[in-house]
Amino acid sequence: MKTYDFIVIGSGISGLSFALRAAKHGRVAIVTKKEAADTNTAWAQGGIACVQSETDTFDQHVADTLDAGAGLCPEPVVQKIIQHGPEAIQELVDWGVNFDTHETESGETEVALGREGGHTQRRVLHHKDTTGREIETKLLAEAIAEPNIELLEHHFVIDLITTAKLALASPPRCVGIYALDEESGEILTLRSDRVLLCTGGSGRVYLYTTNPGVATGDGVAMAWRAGCEIANMEFIQFHPTCLYHHSLKSFLITEAMRGEGAELIDKHGRKFMEEYDPRGSLAPRDIVARAIDREIKKTGGPCVFLDITHKPADFIRTRFPNIYETCLTVDIDITKQPIPVVPAAHYQCGGVKTSVKGSTSLPGLWAVGEVACTGLHGANRLASNSLLEGAVVSKLALNDCISSFPLSADQEVLEVPEWESSDVTDVDELVVIYHNWDEIRRLMWDYVSIVRTTKRLQRAATRLHNLQREVQEFYWNFRVTTELLELRNLVEVATLIVDSAARRKESRGLHYTLDHPDRDDDKWRHNTLLKK
C-alpha cells in the first residue's frame, strides 16, 4: 500500500491545477487511466470565459450564466466562480499558458476575446481554436517538472475505498482508492485522506459525441457506488455543431465560429435559426441543438450546415487553423464550402453533488470539473464556463481539503485489505463487452437524447436494467480489464441519466420531453438528487 497526502484522479485542467498547488503542501499522486494528456480538457476548442474587458462586468457574466441555466443555478455559486475568474486566469498565464492577443487602435497589445452562444459580451479567452490543448500541454509540463508529484499513467481507478467498505465503525469517509495498473495487471491500493475526483464527463455514453474515448463517466459511477449524492444527471448538453462525416467522427466545430459570424443554414442555404430565437445562430446551445434536431427531422436530411465562407479566407485560416486543416483532410475547404454539422453529446451538467469548494457528501472526497455539480451550469451550461469552473473550484477545493484534514496531523494508520481476485479467470468472450457497450450507446442516443418521452425513457430503463445485471455478473466472475471497468461505469451512468430524466416531469434547459413540454417553476425549480 502506498500513501500520499493527496490523490488526484484525472489529469485535465482541474486535476493538474489542483496538483500543482497541492504539491506545495505535500506528496501528490495523479492517477490517470490513459496518457496524461488524453483528457476532455485537451479537446476543448472555444476557450475560457472570464470578465476581462472594460465594457464587461461580473454582473453581466452572472446574468448570462443564470439565463442559460434556466432557473437552476444558485446565484452565490455563480458569483463566486465568476469573481474568482481573473485570478485563475493569471495563474494559468503564470504556468505558461498563452492566450491570443491583438493590437488596439492605439497600438497597445490586449487579450483577444471571442464570443459564444448566450454571452452578451465578448469574454472568451482563447488560443486559436486549440485552447484546451494549450492549457493541457503547459500545465502537464509543469506537473512533470514538479518533484512532489507522481504521475501514474495507464492506471484505472476501480473504486474508492471508504470506511463503510472496510466495515469500520468510524463515520463514513473516503480513505483511498484501488487502481488497476494496466501494464502489469496488478491492482494497487493507494491510501490518502484527501482524494480529488477530476475524471471529466460521460459523453461516450452516447453514440454520437464530441468527447474523447476517455469520457466514460468513471468518476460519477465510482462516487455513486461509494454512496455520494448525485445531482441533475438529466441535463446532458448536446453541442449543436459536430462535424458530420463518416470518416471523422467526434470532431467539434467550435461555437466560437458562430461568435465570429458563421451562420447555420439548411441545404438550400436558408438561415433557419431566426425562426426559433431572435438571437439566431448565437442563441444558447439547448435552443440551437433542438432547432437543428427539428430541421433534420423535418427535412429528412442527415445534417445541416455551418457557413463561414463570407469571411476572408486568411481570417478563417488564422483564427481556426485546427478546424481548417482537419476539415481539409476530408476534402472540405471551410473557406469555400459550408460545413456539414449535427448535434452530438458534449457536456454533463450534473454530476457528483458538491459545494462551491468541491466537497462532496462523503468526507475525504472532493470532486471538481465536469464530474461534479456545483450548480454553476444549472439546467444548461453557458459556453466556455467549464474550464473556468475547473480552474477556480480546484483552488477553493485545495483550501477546503487542507482545512478539513490538516497536513500537520499524522494520517491515521488503517488496515486496508489488498484487492481480492483469486477466484476469477480471464474474460472468455470479449464480444459480450463490445456488444453491450454498443447497445448502451445506441439506446441512449435513440431514447434519451435531445428530445425525450416518458415511453422512451421507460424502454431505456428496462434495457439498462438487464444490461446492468449482465455486466455485474461479468465483473464478479472475470479478471477486471479497462474495457470491462469502463462498461461497468457506462451502464451505471446511463442508468443515472435515465432515472433523473424520468423524475423530471417538465421541460427545462437541456431536458426536453414531449410529454411535459413546458417549464413548471412551481413544481420543478429544484435539483434532481439521487442517493443510494
**In the range 12-51, which residues lie near ligand SIN by CB under 6 A?**
45-46
Size of the site for ligand SIN (CB under 6 A): 9
- Residue type for position 32: T
**By C-beta, is 165 or 377 nearer to ligand SIN?**
377
Does 240 contact ligand SIN by CB under 6 A?
Answer: no
- What are the residues whose beta carbons fall under 8 Å from the beta carbon of 385, sequence distance 6 or more? 49, 65, 81, 376, 377
Q: Residue 383 interacts with ligand SIN (CB under 6 A)?
A: yes
Nearer to ligand SIN, 229 or 255 (CB): 255
Burial of residue 267 (number of CB atoms within 10 Å: 0-12, 13-18, 19+)? middle
CB nearer to ligand SIN: give 202 or 254. 254
Binding positions for ligand SIN, 327-366, rule CB under 6 A = 347
Is the Cβ–Cβ distance between 65 and 384 less than 8 Å? Answer: no
Q: Which is nearer to ligand SIN, 41 or 361 (CB)?
A: 41
- Is 196 in contact with 7 (CB distance < 8 Å)? yes
Residue 61, helix vs strand vs coil: helix
Q: Spell out the SS3 assignment of 224-247.
A: HHCCCCEECCCCEEEEEEEECCCC
Residues 141, 144, 146, 149, CA torsion sign: positive
Quote the least distance from Cβ 367 to ligand SIN, whole Å. 19
The smaller minimum CB distance to ligand SIN, of residues 5 and 255, is found at 255
List 39, 216, 232, 254, residue binding ligand SIN (CB under 6 A): 254
Contacts of 188 (CB under 8 A, 6+ apart): 2, 155, 178, 179, 180, 181
Between residues 258 and 511, which has the closer beta carbon with respect to ligand SIN?
258
Cα 209 to chain center, whole Å?
12
CA-to-CA distance for 415 and 425, rounded, in angstroms?
27
> Minimum distance between the CB of residue 237 and ligand SIN, rounded to whole angstroms?
8
285 is catalytic: yes
Applying CB under 6 A, the span of 13-21, 102-110, 252-260, 356-364 interacting with ligand SIN comes to: 252-260
Which position among 374, 384, 436, 507 is part of the footprint of ligand SIN (CB under 6 A)?
384
Set 123, 204, 285, 452: catalytic member: 285
Q: How far is the CB of 491 from ligand SIN (least distance, A)?
A: 26
Sole window of 253-261, 388-396, 462-470, 520-528 interacting with ligand SIN (rule: CB under 6 A): 253-261
Q: Smallest distance from the beta carbon of 397 to ligand SIN, in angstroms?
A: 21
Residues 49, 69: Cα–Cα separation, whole Å: 15
Shortest distance (Å) from residue 29 CB to ligand SIN: 29
Q: Cα separation of 83 and 89, whole Å?
A: 11
Site for ligand SIN in 474-493 (CB under 6 A): none
259 binds ligand SIN (CB under 6 A): no
Angle at CA 282, nearest 5°, toward 444 and 305? 65
Locate 154 and state its grid cell: 495507464
> What is the nearest approach in angstroms of ligand SIN to the Cβ of residue 443?
25
* Interface segment toward ligand SIN; rule CB under 6 A; list 324-332, 378-386, 445-453, 490-498: 378-386
Q: Which is nearer to ligand SIN, 165 or 285 (CB)?
A: 285
d(CA 108, CA 100): 14
Question: Which residue has 439566431 as its cell numbers?
Answer: 280
Give the angle 226-33-185 at the CA atoms, nearest 5°. 90
Q: What phi and psi values does residue 351 have, to the nearest 5 degrees?
A: 155, -155
DSSP 3-state assignment of 319? helix
- CB of residue 259 to ligand SIN, shortest distance in Å: 9
Residue placing its CB nearer to ligand SIN in the complex, 218 or 255: 255
Query: Closest CB to ligand SIN belongs to which residue?
Result: 46
Taking CB under 6 A as the rule, does residue 255 contact ligand SIN?
A: yes
CB of 319 to ligand SIN, least distance (A): 12
φ/ψ of residue 49, rounded to 5: -80, 135
301 burial (CB, 10 Å; 0-12 / 13-18 / 19+) is middle
Q: Interface mask (CB under 6 A) for ligand SIN, residues 162-201, using x and -?
A: ----------------------------------------
Q: How far apart are CA 457 and CA 490, in angstroms?
A: 17
Contact between 39 and 371 under an 8 Å Cβ cutoff? The reply is no
400 binds ligand SIN (CB under 6 A): no
- Near ligand SIN by CB under 6 A: residue from 88, 143, 256, 484: 256
Please report, as a single letter, which amino acid is at residue 282. Answer: L
Question: Grid coordinates in use for 376?
Answer: 454553476
Tell the residue number behind the cell numbers 491510501, with chain if given. Answer: 191
| Grid cell in block for residue 530 | 439521487
Q: Which is nearer to ligand SIN, 162 or 326 (CB)?
A: 326
CB 256 → ligand SIN: shortest distance, Å? 6
Query: Least Å distance between CB 126 and ligand SIN?
Result: 9
- Closer by beta carbon to ligand SIN, 46 or else 227: 46
Beta bridge partners of 265: 271, 305
* Binding segment (CB under 6 A) for ligand SIN, from list 81-89, 250-258, 429-437, 520-528: 250-258
- 332 Cβ contact partners less than 8 Å away, ≥ 6 residues apart: 245, 339, 340
Considering only 242-250, 351-359, 383-391, 427-435, which stretch makes contact with ligand SIN by CB under 6 A?
Answer: 383-391
| Interacting residues of 169 by C-beta distance below 8 A, sequence separation 6+ | none
Return the range that interacts with ligand SIN (CB under 6 A); candidates 89-97, 309-317, 379-387, 487-495: 379-387
Among 17, 199, 386, 449, binds ligand SIN (CB under 6 A): 386
Positions marked active-site: 285
The footprint of ligand SIN (CB under 6 A) covers: 45-46, 254-256, 347, 383-384, 386
